[in-house]
Amino acid sequence: MSTPEQLTVVLVGPMGAGKTSVGRQVAKRLGVGFIDTDKRIAAEHGPIPSLFEKHGESHFRALEQAAVAAALSEGGVISLGGGAVSSAATRELLRQHPVVFLAVTPEAVADRIRSGGRPLLAGDEDPLERWNQIYEQRRGWYEEVADVTFDTSRRPMQRIADEIAAWRREQA
């Protein structure tokens, strides 16, 4: 049996790339736990849109960095919020772990982001344009921390999960 540290894999990428849905499937395939840091923050501190509204983005990023550190210490498949990589301290934490960048095109993400609940897109007249701006701001950070990239735009999430699990096993 492998240690939790050997089985850790971190998923990064923009809003709507499929980090949570792919992450759950990868965890099943690897037989490890799954942690969504955004869901964990919301469970401990309340809804993320409210955190942004009441305390601002910098407060949220501090909570997020703590959640990422805790998740990394537990191991398993860890899905980070889209902006987690904007923190240099969080990027430093990721250097010691296998990281997968889930990339996606604006065209493919358009339907995925309409569901709402994304504070950085709230109230925007053109959420897709705003998504694209945020993605372009963060793309370099995703690439900096990633060991491998998978595009989720047009391929079945199950196939992507199979490939990530296979890649992770090769790294162990």
pLDDT in tens, 8-21: 999 999 988 999 99
Phi–psi pair at 145, nearest 5 degrees: -90, -15
Report how far residue 44's alpha carbon sits from residue 168's, in angstroms, rounded to the nearest whole number: 30
Among the residue ranges 61-65, 71-75, 95-99, 110-114, the one predicted with the least confidence is 110-114
* pLDDT surpassing 50 at residue 126: yes
* pLDDT surpassing 50 at residue 4: no
The pLDDT value given to residue 122: 54
113 or 152, higher pLDDT = 152
The pLDDT value given to residue 127: 75
From the list 68, 70, 114, the residue with the least C-alpha distance to 94 is 68
Query: Which tokens go with 161?
Result: 């999960």
Other C-beta atoms closer than 10 Å to the C-beta of 72 total 21
* pLDDT surpassing 50 at residue 3: no
- Round the average pLDDT of the chain to a whole number and report it: 89
* pLDDT surpassing 50 at residue 170: yes
Q: Tokens 């736990």 appear where?
A: 33
* pLDDT surpassing 60 at residue 133: yes
108 or 100, higher pLDDT = 100
Contacts of 102 (CB under 8 A, 6+ apart): 11, 12, 13, 17, 18, 19, 22, 149, 150, 151, 152, 160
Does residue 12 contact residue 99 with C-beta atoms inside 8 Å?
Answer: yes
Mean of pLDDT values over 66-84? 96
From the list 158, 140, 44, 118, the residue with the least C-alpha distance to 64 is 44
